[in-house]
Amino acid sequence: MMQVEGVAEVTDADFDAEVLGAELPVLVKFTADWCGPCRQLGPVLGAVAAEEADRLRIVQLDVDRNPEVTVRYGVLATPTLMVFRAGEPVKSMVGARPKRRLLQELEDVLAP
């Protein structure tokens, strides 16, 4: 999986602790090595992670290596971006997008 600065990797084993138990909202990128749009989204998420570090945590999960969480949340396409707050999914988006559009779509989640 592509490593992106500021974007941690989570697995089936630590998803509940890292994502559902997090204090900040967490954006999870459901990704795969073979997914071109996922690679395009990497630098965008890295930039957002750096800018919004005090309001949002960003992690990625490989759908091929972590089928349990992928199935639990009904992820059928990559990249799927899912935002969790207080252990619940509150937003879901499918597909790559430019940084400005992503930030616009996250405004309601990032609001204090």
- The residues assigned a catalytic role are 35, 38
Specify the pairing of strand 26-31 against strand 57-62.
Answer: parallel
For residue 95, give the 3-state DSSP assignment: coil
79 prior amide bond cis, ω within 30: yes
Rounded CA gap, 58 and 24, in Å?
A: 10
Owner of token pair 């930030």 = 103
Structure tokens at 81: 């971006």
